[in-house]
Copies of this chain bind each other. A is one copy, B any other.
Amino acid sequence: MKLQDVLKSDVALPLAKRTALNFMITNTSFSEKFLDFFKQYDISTQQFNVLRILRGQKGKPANLATIQERMIHKNSNTTRLIDKLLVKGFVKRTICPENRRKVEIVITESGLYLLETIDPKLNELEEKAIQPLTTAEAETLNILLEKLRG
CB of A65 closer than 8 Å to a CB of B: no
Q: Is the CB of B8 within 8 A of A70?
A: yes
A129 touches which of B2, B20, B137 (Cβ 8 Å): B20
Number of this chain's copies in the complex: 2
CB of A24 closer than 8 Å to a CB of B: yes
Q: Is the CB of B24 within 8 A of A31?
A: yes
How many chain A residues sit at the interface, stated as a range, is 35 or more
Q: Is the CB of B137 within 8 A of A144?
A: yes
**A9-17, A77-85, A99-107, A108-116: which lies at the interface:** A9-17
Q: Is the CB of B129 within 8 A of A1?
A: no
Contact with B along A120-132 (1 / 0, CB 8 A): 0001001101111
A selection of 19 A-B contacts at a CB cut-off of 8 Å is A1-B149, A3-B142, A7-B70, A9-B56, A15-B142, A16-B129, A19-B126, A19-B141, A22-B145, A22-B146, A24-B30, A24-B72, A25-B72, A27-B27, A28-B72, A133-B144, A133-B148, A141-B141, A144-B144
Using a CB–CB distance below 8 Å, which chain A residues touch chain B? 1-3, 7-9, 14-20, 22-31, 34, 56, 70, 72-73, 123, 126-127, 129-133, 135, 137-142, 144-150
